[in-house]
């Protein structure tokens, strides 16, 4: 077993285990912390695939900014003391069953696909580096990049409008 395989399997186990703990833990704060562990594992996968830019962006944007936002909202609402009402047992079982069926269907459909010869390149290749991605982003994809700034502006305006206290929300 090579080092790459050991890293791949340990990162995968970390990602799947902490993702399971996200949906199993009772306390929302614990869920957020396990989700951060999942994102760190996924960042590790990106770095293993030599997509270093995405690995760092995933770490900063997801594990850093977005998760802090989640944690901030949970603490603001003081949710950790709330008891979450349990969903109906049958509904829960139906949810797990349908998720498992989806997994089964896709795995079964992938079984027949020719993929044994296809390999994802790890540890090398320069397409994930900042130089190459930046060059493409600012030449071929400069218009989507600018539109993304408009998207952020509208998201900011939307968040402010939603968060503002109005007469209708007070009633």
Q: Between the CA of residue 84 and those of 25, 28, 65, 79, what are the distances in Å?
A: 11, 9, 26, 9
Q: Is the dihedral of CA 121, 103, 66, 135 positive or negative?
A: positive
The total number of residues shown for the chain amounts to: 171
> Of 128 and 167, which CB lies nearer to other proteins in the complex structure?
128
CB 46 within 8 A of CB 117: no
Nearest to residue 76, comparing CAs of 66, 68, 64, 65? 68
């Amino acid at each position: 077993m090579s080092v790459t395989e050991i890293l791949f399997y340990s990162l995968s186990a970390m990602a799947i285990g902490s993702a399971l703990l996200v949906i199993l833990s009772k306390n929302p704060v614990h869920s957020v912390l396990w989700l951060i562990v999942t994102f760190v594992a996924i960042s590790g996968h990106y770095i293993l695939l030599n997509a270093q830019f995405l690995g760092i962006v995933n770490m900063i944007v997801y594990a850093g900014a977005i998760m802090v936002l989640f944690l901030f909202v949970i603490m603001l609402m003081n949710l950790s003391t709330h008891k979450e009402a349990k969903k109906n047992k049958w509904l829960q079982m139906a949810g797990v069953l349908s998720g498992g069926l989806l997994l089964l269907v896709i795995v079964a459909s992938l079984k027949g696909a020719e993929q044994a010869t296809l390999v994802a390149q790890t540890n090398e290749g320069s397409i994930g580096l900042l130089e190459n991605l930046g060059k493409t982003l600012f030449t071929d994809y400069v218009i989507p990049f600018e539109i993304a700034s408009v998207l952020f502006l509208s998201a900011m305006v939307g968040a402010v409008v939603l968060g503002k206290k109005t007469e209708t929300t007070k009633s």
